[in-house]
A = this chain, B = another copy of it.
Amino acid sequence: MRIAVLGTGQVGRTLAGRCAQLGHDVVVGTRDPRQTMARTDTDAMGTPPYAQWQAEHPDVALATNAEAGAGADLVVNATNGSVSQAALTDAGVGARDGLVVLDVANVLEFGAGPLPGIGATTEGSLGERLQAAFPAARMVKALNTMNCAVMVDPARVPGDHVVFVAGDDAEAKAVVQDLLGEFGWGSERIVDLGGIVGARATEMYIPLWLSLMGALGTPEFNIALAR
């Protein structure tokens, strides 16, 4: 598949590198590639400059969001949720009828409180807002409930922990489930929460995820279902 990964942070890099490793044709999209490559500082999350990662991944191309989105079979939204709609607009998602978009993003608005704002309530979520903003696209929410290293390599964490998918289009969900399978998610570990409205549930889990990261002292964990 031709995959456009929007976002040059740790999540975007990890997904792009893994998809390329699996043999996909991967382009990372950013607002201004020259500016992205010119940065030399480690960011607020401790992520080293993009150019360093790019040099180690010659099989991944860097382009504008528009160039990355053009001709992509699958767009992966790995931007911070607060800028996702702008990035998807730039990537031309609105103009591509039936385009499958894998939305792994969360809104994380860090402020003075103990938890960041997450932009999700029992009445709405980022995944739904993106689906509403791009009605011709087929949005699938998945992978947003775990650290990016676990997203692309579930075997890093032992046990039958799970990944959730939510989306209105069954065919689009099947495309995403196939990619999850390539990452290492056996079908019995992919839990279908139904329509994109299910994004409310997974986005509202983030405060528990953040609390657990604090309690466990590591981001490399996930939840399993006991039944």
Contacts and interface: CB of A to CB of B under 8 A. Distances in A.
A157 to B, nearest CB: 5
B218 A210 contact: no
A163 to B, nearest CB: 12
A160 interface: yes
Nearest to A123: B113
Interface stretch (A12-20, A55-63, A74-82, A192-200): A192-200
A71 interface: no
Contacts of A118: 122
Contacts of A46: none
A33 interface: no
A162 B117 CA distance: 26
A132 interface: no
Nearest to A202: B208
Interface in A171-206: 191-194, 197-198, 200-202, 204-205
B227 A211 contact: no
A166 to B, nearest CB: 8
Contacts of A22: none
A117 B124 CA distance: 11
Residue among A117, A118, A122, A200 with the most chain B CB within 10 A? A122
Contact of A226 (B122, B198, B223): B223
Contacts of A205: 204-205, 208
B211 A194 contact: yes
Nearest to A159: B226
Contacts of A191: 212, 215
A226 B158 contact: yes
Interface in A206-220: 207-208, 210-212, 214-216, 218, 220
Contacts of A208: 164, 201-202, 204-205
Interface in A28-54: none
A21 interface: no
A1 interface: no
A135 interface: no
A223 B223 contact: yes
Contact of A224 (B159, B192, B211): B159
